[in-house]
Amino acid sequence: MVTERGLQVLRAIVEDYVETREPVGSKSIVDRHAFGVSAATIRNDMALLEEDELIVAPHTSSGRIPTDKGYRVFVDQLAELRPLTSAQRAAIASFLRDSGDLDDLLVRTVRALTRLTGQVAIVQYPSFARANVSHVEVVHVGGSRIVVIVVTDTGRVSQRTALLRGEIVETDVAVVKARIAALVTGRGIREGVQAIAGLLETPRSGDRLDDIVRAVARIVSEELEEFRTDRLVMAGSATLARRESDFRGSISPLLEAIEEQVTLLRLMSEMVADEQGLATSIGRENESFGLAEASVLTSDYDATGSHARVGLLGPTRMDYPSNLAAVRAVAHYLSRLLDEDEKAR
């Protein structure tokens, strides 16, 4: 059983190691922290922490560093979130203000978060299972080239350029747009996909315009399927290379997880949030995902009746109180912007 002073010694070791990157010794703790006891007493506390596998000596006769278990105890029992400064909050507001659409807002979100923390920032797209198609636009840009735009009532926008077989004229575009809009506008994502599938299953008439409608319908269906796919937006991947010395082993699994996204999506979906919507997964807790070298911090955010997560990926040696506070603040601001946008529709 760790004593109260032992927990405070653990706090000192975590905070000092995060700040200095150097193993922490008893004399350093006495000099830097007002415990009011001797270095010998602190050494006894450290010996008990080591027995409990909360700290470890990386080298013979060196100071001690936290283990993954030690970081977990620190986060669960000792970490007090550090409120962001007014300048940091103003920076978040300025960076996210006046975003064009949901895609732009989420890109701005991860850029703001990685600037605040120096870690890899991640944001999960909200679930669009309950979204409805609010608008379909087909724009003729010359010859046989068109642009197909699909918009949902949750603010999701898709834009895709396509090259059709043969030339198309403006009157054709109006007819195609009307027929596609009648199929999907006002319907949910799944219903829209099913309606287009029904159209494509009907026998072809051989009419040139019917072929164009089918071609555009396939494009819209593919875009709607994309809306249903879980995916992430990330920024700050280059920070992993700059922080490579903070990882005990290779950073290759982290880079692969960032590239493939599936691993991170699974991990983020399984993390259990506390009453504040915050969740952490530290070091070996991520071993089954191949990310035992990293910590992931997330905060829930709300988006039009559904929720998703915004978070950070980085080494286990990180400033948990500041990073958790940054994640929570960004998530709250993101939720507020999405709520305001929904009310303005």
Tens place of pLDDT for every residue, the chain, 345 residues?
789 999 999 999 999 999 999 999 999 999 999 889 999 999 999 999 999 999 999 887 679 999 999 999 999 998 888 889 999 999 999 888 888 788 889 999 999 999 999 999 999 988 666 678 999 999 999 889 999 999 988 777 889 999 988 788 888 899 999 999 999 999 988 899 999 999 999 998 878 889 999 999 999 999 888 776 678 999 999 888 888 888 888 888 888 888 888 899 999 989 999 988 999 999 999 999 989 999 999 999 987 656 789 999 999 999 999 999 999 999 999 998 888 876 665
Cβ(264)–Cβ(231) under 8 Å? no
Host H or E run for residue 118: none
What does DSSP assign to residue 185?
A: T
Structure pTM? 0.77
Q: Say how many C-beta atoms besides its own lie within 10 A of residue 229's C-beta.
A: 9
Q: Residue with structure tokens 């600037």?
A: 115
The residues facing 138 across adjacent strands are 148
Q: How far apart are CA 54 and CA 76, in angstroms?
A: 13
**Helices 102-117, 320-344: crossing angle, 10 deg rounding:** 160
Compute the distance between CA of residue 230 and CA of residue 226 in angstroms, rounded to an integer.
8
Which residue segments constitute the domains of the chain, with CATH numbers given? 4-78 (1.10.10.10), 86-126+230-344 (3.30.450.40), 133-228 (3.30.390.60)
Instruction: Report which DSSP code applies to 282.
Output: E
CA dihedral 41, 44, 45, 49 (to 10 degrees): 170
CA nearest 124: which of 314, 321, 290, 306?
306
Distance CA 257, CA 303 (A): 25
CA angle, corner 333, sides to 329 and 335, nearest 5?
115
Alpha carbons 233 and 125: distance in angstroms, whole number: 8
d(CA 171, CA 149) in angstroms, rounded, equals 18
Q: Name the residue among 274, 296, 265, 283 with its Cα closest to residue 121.
A: 296
